[in-house]
Amino acid sequence: MPDEPVVSLIVPVRNEERYIRPCLDSLLANDYPQNRIEVWVVDAQSEDRTRDIVSEYIRQYPHIQLLDNPRKIIPAAFNIGIKNSRGEIILLASGHSIYPSSYISTCVQGLLEHQADNAGVTSVCVPREDTPMGRAIALALAYPFGSGNANTRLGVSFPRFADSVAFGCFRRELFEKIGFYNENLAGSSDMDMNARIKKTGGKIILLPGAAVNYYSDANLKSFWKHNFGDGVWATYVLRFDSHAFAWRHWVPMFFVATVIGSGMLAVISPGFRWIFAGVGGLYILASLAASAHISWRKQTLQYISRLPVVFATRHISHGLGSLLGLLLVLIRFPLWKGRRTASS
């Protein structure tokens, strides 16, 4: 592209000493001209060596800068980075992701060619720990039974309009038009931004190629906590008059509510036993079918027993979280400070 616009990359981090080097190395290895890039690492008071490592890069690469994020939440990190940056294009990133060499150029070119308001690529989940359970979690997140119709996880073969993309690439003037990230929405500010873009008639384009490797949870405990927090924010956004959700975000809630409700009512009315058994039975069959299909594609049986557990963990924790979020809306709880108050 002639006369490439200056791109400001915003990278929120907190305690990322394990991943920040490969993250920055991959951004520095991009094919976009380095003299047209500035990288703003926004640190949420890391307690490990993250800041020291970033300082090493700053001494070597003057276009990398470090900012503080005292609120320790993702939308605050984005806002701090955007307000301090000077680029014509704002490109969001994550401190525990690895970016292909064409990432920046793909996003910028897609944004300009499609005259979009937000452009981005898909994210490929890779296990944080190379264990059978870590790999099973990553595989589940890349399958429709685990992520619904979230094409940003499933991938696309051609550019298509979507409700979200991995991270995001924007023109600076967009934030002057619709405002910055909502810092009340610590766990769903990205979906809120996309909802506001679409509400004003804007376009979000999901691009093929240049997929970002994103480190997924390594064990069921962290996976449960992660999805429970996501579930809370899927409904708690209503507390702030936001529509930062899609139908797929509420499906686990309806599933869990139906199972719990029919199970309790089955005690007093035998008819509900059929609902309980039917919904539970269909879910088990669907989970086993999805697990078998993934195992067949991978030509191994090592996931056949783990994937049903992973799917159940994802759906039940997300569903319970969504029910809690709905309860917090009903009682007008002032501000939930659960997961996603970290930076990435």
- Report DSSP letters for 55-122, one per residue: HHHHHH-TTEEEEE-TT--HHHHHHHHHHH---SEEEE--TTEE--TTHHHHHHHHHHHTT-SEEEE-
Please give the helix or strand (H or E) that residue 229 lies within, else none: helix 220-236
- Written as one string, the DSSP assignment of 160-227 is EE-S--EEEEEETHHHHHH-S--TT-TTTHHHHHHHHHHHTT--EEE-SS-PEEEEEPSSHHHHHHHH
Same domain (yes/no): 154, 27: yes
Distance in angstroms (rounded) separating the CA atoms of residues 263 and 4: 60
The answer to whether residues 274 and 163 belong to one domain is no
Contact present, 7 and 87 (Cβ < 8 Å):
yes
Q: Which of 196, 217, 238 is the last residue of a domain?
A: 217
pLDDT score recorded for residue 246: 79
Last residue of a domain, one of 188, 217, 246: 217
Q: Which residue's entry shows tokens 């696309």? A: 156
Structure-block tokens of residue 105: 């150029």
Give, in order, the Cα–Cα distances in Å from 331 to each of 239, 257, 325: 10, 19, 10
Domain-embedded: residue 38: yes
Those residues with Cβ within 8 angstroms of residue 226's Cβ, 6 or more apart along the chain or in another chain: 217, 339
Residues 211 and 226 in one domain: no
- CB-count burial class (<10 Å; 0-12, 13-18, 19+) for 95: buried
Specify whether 208 is located in the same domain as 233: no
Nearest residue to 65 (alpha-carbon basis) of 73, 321, 142, 83? 83
pTM for the whole structure: 0.88
The Cα–Cα gap between 317 and 325 comes to 12
| Closest by CA position to 26, among listed 170, 167, 212 | 212
Q: In what order do the strands lie in the sheet with 160-161?
A: 64-68, 37-43, 7-13, 89-92, 166-171, 118-121, 204-206, 160-161
Taking the C-alpha atoms of residue 236 and residue 185, their distance in angstroms, rounded to an integer, is 9
The residue among 185, 217, 249 that closes a domain is: 217
Residuewise pLDDT in 10s, the chain (344 residues):
557 999 999 999 999 999 999 999 999 999 999 999 999 999 999 999 999 999 999 999 999 999 999 999 999 999 999 999 999 999 999 998 999 999 999 999 999 999 999 999 999 999 988 999 999 999 999 999 999 888 888 888 899 999 889 889 999 999 999 999 999 888 889 999 999 999 999 999 999 988 899 999 999 999 999 999 999 999 998 998 888 777 888 999 999 999 999 999 998 998 999 999 999 999 999 999 999 999 999 999 999 999 999 999 999 999 999 999 999 999 988 777 765 544 44
Q: Is residue 271 part of a domain?
A: yes
On whether residue 338 sits in a domain, the answer given is: no
Say if residue 138 is in the same domain as residue 191.
yes
CB 113 within 8 A of CB 100: no
Give residue 151's pLDDT.
85
Q: How many domains does the chain have?
A: 2
Q: Helix, strand, or coil here: 236?
A: helix
What pLDDT is attached to residue 71? 93
The answer to whether residues 141 and 173 belong to one domain is: yes
CATH number at residue 47: 3.90.550.10
Residue 343 has what pLDDT? 41
Residue 337 lies in a domain: no
- Return the pLDDT at 2: 53
List beta partners, residue 206.
120, 160
Q: Based on the fold, state whether residues 244 and 102 are members of the same structural domain.
A: no
Give the integer Cα–Cα distance in Å for 122 and 214. 10
Domain match, 226 and 198 both: no
Q: By CB neighbour count within 10 A (0-12 exposed, 13-18 middle, 19+ buried), where does 92 fall?
A: buried
Residues 304 and 201 in one domain: no
Tell me if 108 is assigned to some domain. Answer: yes
Q: What residue numbers bound the domain in which 298 lies? A: 222-330
- Whole-number Å distance between alpha carbons of 295 and 67: 44
